[in-house]
Amino acid sequence: MSALSRFLPLFARHRGAFLAALSLSLITLAAGIGLLAVSGWFLTAAFLAGAAASFNLFGPSAAVRGLSFLRIAARYGERLSGHDATLKLLTDIRAWLFARLLPRAGPVGSGLKRGELVARLTADVDTLDVVFLLAFGPMLTALVAGLGMTVILAFLLPLAAPGFALAFLAAALGVPLLLVRATRRAGAAAVEAAGALRGEALDGAAGRTDILALGAQDRFFEGLDGAAQALARARLSIGRRAALAQAGVHILTGAALVAVLVPGILAVSAGQLGGPGLAGLLLATIGSFEATATITRSVARLGAAAAAAQRLSDIADAPLSRKLPGRLTDVPSGALRLERLCVGHAGRAALGPVTLTVRPAALVAVKGPSGSGKSTLLLSILALLPPLEGRVTIGGVDIAELSADTLYGTVALLEQDAPVFIGTIRDNLALAAPQAPDDALWQALERARLDQLVRSLPGGLDAPVGEAGHTLSTGEGRRLALARILLTPARILLLDEPTSGLDGQAEDAFLRDLRRACAGRTVVLATHAELPAHAVDAVWTLRDGRLDAEAMDR
């Protein structure tokens, strides 16, 4: 549970809304208890009075109706404020998490499958919604209601108060704490299994063509079925323990009823308490245990919430992929230079030493086979991989001295698998320039040679591209990503295998258009493609992490 405490400052931001939800929840529970108590007293008193004209039917009837409407209104308000605060909290948690992940872009995903990382960024955050809404909130409400009921019994039926208090405390606090302890391991297993299942599904969707081509359907479905069964076992284990806890609460409810009934009968026999009053107290006792039943259904998920919080903390505390940014906000114009740069992991150099100078507005290519260090080179220019030796400078200024905003406003990366997001053409372009006017969007599309296609689409800039851009071809999606990066103010563009997956004709056309599209900017192109004549100013080749000294002008 210690991992959950890390998120308390984020909870504190919404304490007003959570307190409102807690207050409304308490009013709801109190109205329910009062409704049962008044109803029990009313029906019993009416039965005992018979047809006596002196019995007042209107007062209790009005109280029943009033409490019913109060309970409905309070319940609605509690759900509205509680869910609103929870959704805002989850938004804050995501913002906090991504702010922590940005300087950890390299190490954060090491050792994790794609599906596992997606699960941590989405499902694990969503799992935290139970912490207040379904667990701590109802528990606090129940304890306050139990205290109030104990005080009432202490005045009306003193002998019943201790027994009720013990039974209620056991149901509202003891059983939930035991349940949290009993489901902690199963909750962690459920979170891990859910992540594994999601990973299997994502991998299967992404690699469905290869799975079918290689006839690996049986092996894929075995892995998927294994992950599903592991999740089912974990959830069944949690469900069994929750059912036992629920049974324990029902037993404690019966014990509380006995603790009220026995002294109540004695009090009625002695003339100290009327029969209708005893009926009202018994039904109020049952109503007070309503919140405890809710607690046991939701507290079983706290183990999963604690495991999710720990998983989020693990990736949020991954080692920094670069030094903390400096404070300089001005980058002088000048060459991009790598000075005896060595980059690697765990003290072992995967690249270098590399010395390279790229003059302003030049378009250069870095070629080499897969694993030669091309992507590593680009990541080091973005300071996403800290150098073991040497440095990267822009206009003579070490990038380690720049603020993050300045560095990423000067250097932009177009990744090999740059995504096209679900939405419209405009939505995808707006990621780079949210306030850009339509003229700027069309200019970027024209430079990427995508403007004619977009003009032909129904809706133009507002044409939907579908999930992952499925309405566009691979080449069109790549050009849309290029147009997006052209909307940034960055004067240095890093392109990592931008033609990967394109056919020969689309690849050739894309590379021929680069100089025109990126005119006036410095471009470093990492590729293993065959370059058309005069497509770039110079070519360097990386082999085994080292840059060939020979350059070829184009």
Average the pLDDT over 330-341 and give the result: 86
Percent of the chain surpassing pLDDT 70: 90
Residues in the chain: 554
Cβ neighbors of 31 (< 8 A, separation 6 or more) are 67, 68, 70, 71, 74
Residue 542 forms part of a structural domain: yes
Average the pLDDT over 42-70 and give the result: 78
**Residue 157 contacts residue 265 (beta carbons within 8 Å):** no
The rounded distance, in Å, linking the Cα atoms of 368 and 497 is: 11
**Residue 406 contacts residue 421 (beta carbons within 8 Å):** no
Average the pLDDT over 352-369 and give the result: 86
Average the pLDDT over 266-279 and give the result: 90
So what's the pLDDT on residue 313? 83
The rounded distance, in Å, linking the Cα atoms of 505 and 491 is: 28
Q: 533 and 402 share a domain?
A: yes
| Terminal-to-terminal C-alpha distance of the chain | 61
What's the domain range around 345?
336-549
Q: ∠ CA 147-256-37 to the nearest 5 degrees?
A: 70
- Whether the link from the prior residue into 319 is cis, omega within 30° of 0, is no
| Whether the predicted pLDDT of 457 surpasses 80 | yes
| Whether the predicted pLDDT of 21 surpasses 80 | yes
Residue 198 is part of a domain; what is its CATH number?
Answer: 1.20.1560.10
Q: 309 and 347 share a domain?
A: no
CA 204 from centre of chain: 22
Give the model confidence (pLDDT) of 208-226 as tens digits: 788 888 888 888 888 889 8
| Whether the predicted pLDDT of 328 surpasses 80 | no
pTM to 2 decimals? Answer: 0.67
Q: What confidence category does residue 252 fall into, taking pLDDT thresholds of 50, 70 and 90?
A: very high
Q: 211 and 128 share a domain?
A: yes
So what's the pLDDT on residue 415? 84
Q: 95 and 49 share a domain?
A: yes
Q: 355 and 290 share a domain?
A: no
CA 339 from centre of chain: 40
Residue 327 forms part of a structural domain: no
Q: 313 and 341 share a domain?
A: no
Q: Between 55 and 76, whose confidence is greater?
A: 76
Ramachandran angles phi, psi of 330, nearest 5°: -125, 125
Burial class (CB in 10 A: 0-12, 13-18, 19+), 512: middle
Nearest to 365 by CA among 525, 176, 191: 525
Q: 433 and 305 share a domain?
A: no
Nearest to 17 by CA among 75, 89, 91, 94: 89
Residue 323 forms part of a structural domain: no
So what's the pLDDT on residue 110? 54
Q: 290 and 342 share a domain?
A: no
Average the pLDDT over 40-46 and give the result: 85
Q: 172 and 302 share a domain?
A: yes
Q: 392 and 295 share a domain?
A: no
Residue 324 forms part of a structural domain: no
The rounded distance, in Å, linking the Cα atoms of 156 and 5 is: 41
Average the pLDDT over 126-136 and give the result: 71
Residue 331 forms part of a structural domain: no
Work out how many domains the chain is built from and give that number.
2
For the record, the structure tokens of 518 come out as 């990126």
For the record, the structure tokens of 96 come out as 């906090």
Residue 361 is part of a domain; what is its CATH number?
Answer: 3.40.50.300
Average the pLDDT over 225-229 and give the result: 90
Q: 351 and 304 share a domain?
A: no
| Whether the predicted pLDDT of 335 surpasses 50 | yes
Ramachandran angles phi, psi of 270, nearest 5°: -85, 0
| Whether the predicted pLDDT of 550 surpasses 50 | no
Identify the domain boundary among 250, 285, 317.
317
Identify the domain boundary among 317, 347, 381.
317
Q: Enumerate the β-bridge partners of residue 522.
A: 492
Average the pLDDT over 485-493 and give the result: 89
Residue 330 forms part of a structural domain: no
Average pLDDT, the chain: 83
| Whether the predicted pLDDT of 123 surpasses 80 | no
